Structure 1
Amino acid sequence: MLRLLGSICVLAAFLTSAPPAQAAEAGRLVAVTDQAYDSPSAARIRLMDPAVAVWDTAAAQKWTWSPTSANGFSGLTGAWGLPSDVKLRMKADAYVAVVTDSRGLAALIGYPSGQRLWAVNVGSANNPHSIELLPDGNVAVAASTGGFVRVYTASQGSSSGAYVTYPLPDAHGVQWDPTRQVLWVLGGSKLAALKITGTAAAPKLTEVASVPGLTGGGHDLTPVLEDHDLLWVSTGSKVYQVRKSTATIVTTLNEAGIKSISSMPNAQEVRTTPKSGCRTDWCTDTVNFAVPGTATRKITGAEIYKARVWSSRYE
């Protein structure tokens, strides 16, 4: 059912552009992590409008961000250059965004102001890959080379570096589940749910569930916005839909190398897959909509790693 949308349906569903805050909850915009392997200062988060057919135009780009001294990141710009994740969230009834970079940065910023609310350098050797804002204001970070998920006490101050750790080899994904009040984490062939107890200043992590049957190389973990009980999971060789309430796989697709997958509330899929000729073996200049090859948007010269539906919804 998810894969029956043709290019006409995909394009017809894209509404005209709107101010960033309005478009966020409609799920009409898509954020991409545009890396710049040879020129870190050129790396950007780009918020793009799928209703604009040509993404090389100014009309397509609705917002862009990178850390600078002016927006509060003095001393941390060296931890930037390979943005690996970005998500829109809400905090105290205001839009915010969480961002990670493989060179070390983990940050919480105002949206659309881009101003720093919290940030730390997780360390480039740890390779931060995913990030999530928790209801108490703390921030979860998955680091692949470091082999861990950390919950940082971001609620305690803009530079708070205290954390609690859950060991997870090849950690690549974190996703909050508001219904079950758990943090889903993905690494290798393991997808688990963590209960967070203790206090915001001193959190504790306990594994309370896991999902059997995933193949190795777990990579992306996002909500299926058209169904509150499902998660998207991509691994090295498969794409899955997982039912959270039963911790079971309900759909398996034999599709390899999907670096990011998410979907809009009307079930349109948004994907990235490495493209031959891109600077690294994990990047692309193209975002695929609905089904790869059905509808695409391209930024010439970009080194896109992930694409995210720009919605603050956790599920």
Structure 2
Amino acid sequence: MDRRSLLKGALTAPAAGLLGAAPTSAAPAAFDVFVGEISTGRIYRFDRNKRFTTANAKWSFKPGGGHPMDHRPRVTDGDGPVLLIAAGSRDSGVASIRRRRDNELLWSARLDTYLHGIERARGTGVVVVAGRSRGPAPHGDSGATPGGKIYVYRPTDRHSNSLVLAQKFDFFQAHGVLWDPQLERMWVIGGSVLQAYRIVTTASSAKLVADPDHRVKVTRGHDVQPDHTNPGRLLFTDTNGVYVYDKATRKPARLHSRHKVKSYVHHVSGEQMWTGVAESAGSEFGTKYVHFNRTGIARPMELDRVASPIVYKARLDESGYL
């Protein structure tokens, strides 16, 4: 079968894989995932190999502030393991950091854009939040609305509760952020660009400075994630597909032609995990499925008292990738 035909059909059926399923005899990788569910406004942590049901949730929490748009585990020197959370509505959002061992709220900020992403830079402790435009788009949430901002927070000591706003600047349709410890750059994706930034800090300031050597043109950029199988690559999505960026050659290449993939990542085992919008119809945020490639599984959310769960992003329970 032609590979392009395989890719064209990817995700249209629940069990379809972006590259096709591995033999069923292959042992699935064991890892946990965080899933943001739009209908309940909750974040769940599941064992990737168990049904995604309310009873099987290892942890769940409703952060407030709107839809759970981003959620990623990180490790800090001052507060230990934490979960970064970005939640948003059409007109505002809340960025927060919670300590994982007891779910204590360590820091939060209410902002005036529809928050979509949050990340923390290792070493400096700088936290970057991405928010797209306020208000609905003229023809639904197609990304056509103007606006978007990046917010940069710096810590004044080792703890998350010391974060203060250090910089704010416009970034059209800002959606995703990722700290790259290999290049020591903060990547931001949204609108028409995937852009890397240096973080410049002093005793009393922090700011992002664009790196002209690492800039990629995209079409309504959405998400940027590490490739856990290869730290020399990044994975990113836009309206038209899924791509890999080679840091050494500074060139992108299309991996998959599936449209409107909301999140996509490679586990260290080689497993692909992704979420996305159905080709035909459904929510603008996604479907009820989290897709896995090696076993051809599309794991549906089956939540109590929720007729039609909607998954936006799925994240590996992994705090780094080097």
Sort the Cα spacing of 1:210 and 1:7 in 2 relative to 1 into closer, same or farther, 3 A: farther
Q: Does 1:120 align with 2:116?
A: no
Residue of structure 2 equivalent to 1:313: 320
Residue of structure 1 equivalent to 2:22: 6
Once the two structures are TM-superposed, the CA of residue 159 in structure 1 deviates from its matched residue by 6.7
Once the two structures are TM-superposed, the CA of residue 230 in structure 1 deviates from its matched residue by 0.8
Residue of structure 2 equivalent to 1:88: 73
Residue of structure 1 equivalent to 2:61: 65
Residue of structure 2 equivalent to 1:302: 309
Sort the Cα spacing of 1:303 and 1:86 in 2 relative to 1 into closer, same or farther, 3 A: same
Structure with higher RCO (Cα < 8 A, 6+ apart): 2
Tell me the SS of whatever aligns to 2:24: helix
- Structure 2 runs not aligned, ≥5 long: 4-17, 134-146, 303-307
Residue of structure 2 equivalent to 1:130: 117
What is the correspondence of 1:1-315 to structure 2 with a 5 Å cutoff? 3=19, 5-6=21-22, 8=24, 12-15=27-30, 28-36=31-39, 42-52=40-50, 54-56=51-53, 58-59=55-56, 61-67=57-63, 77=64, 80-92=65-77, 94-103=80-89, 104-123=93-112, 126-135=113-122, 136-145=124-133, 146-155=147-156, 158=161, 160-199=163-202, 201-209=204-212, 211=214, 214-275=217-278, 278=282, 280-290=283-293, 294-300=296-302, 301-315=308-322
Q: Is the 8 A contact 1:138 1:155 kept in 2?
A: no
Tell me the SS of whatever aligns to 1:13: coil
Tell me the SS of whatever aligns to 2:161: coil
> How many residues are treated as equivalent by the alignment?
280
Q: Which moved more, 1:113-122 or 1:220-229?
A: 113-122
Sort the Cα spacing of 1:155 and 1:6 in 2 relative to 1 into closer, same or farther, 3 A: farther
Sort the Cα spacing of 1:190 and 1:110 in 2 relative to 1 into closer, same or farther, 3 A: same
Distance 2:71 2:23 in 1: 26
TM-score by length of 2: 0.79
Distance 2:224 2:288 in 1: 21
- Counterpart amino acid of residue 309 in structure 2: A
Q: Is the 8 A contact 1:85 1:130 kept in 2?
A: yes
- Counterpart amino acid of residue 256 in structure 1: H
Q: Is the 8 A contact 2:175 2:223 kept in 1?
A: yes
TM-score by length of 1: 0.81
Distance 1:3 1:221 in 2: 19
Sort the Cα spacing of 1:115 and 1:7 in 2 relative to 1 into closer, same or farther, 3 A: farther
Q: Is the 8 A contact 1:118 1:154 kept in 2?
A: no
Q: Is the 8 A contact 1:264 1:309 kept in 2?
A: yes
Tell me the SS of whatever aligns to 1:51: coil
Structure with more helix by fraction: 1
Distance 2:203 2:21 in 1: 43
Q: Is the 8 A contact 1:191 1:210 kept in 2?
A: no
Sort the Cα spacing of 1:200 and 1:81 in 2 relative to 1 into closer, same or farther, 3 A: farther
Calculate the aligned-residue CA RMSD, in Å. 2.5
- Counterpart amino acid of residue 63 in structure 1: W
Tell me the SS of whatever aligns to 2:259: coil
Sort the Cα spacing of 1:303 and 1:229 in 2 relative to 1 into closer, same or farther, 3 A: same
Sort the Cα spacing of 1:213 and 1:121 in 2 relative to 1 into closer, same or farther, 3 A: closer
Tell me the SS of whatever aligns to 1:158: helix
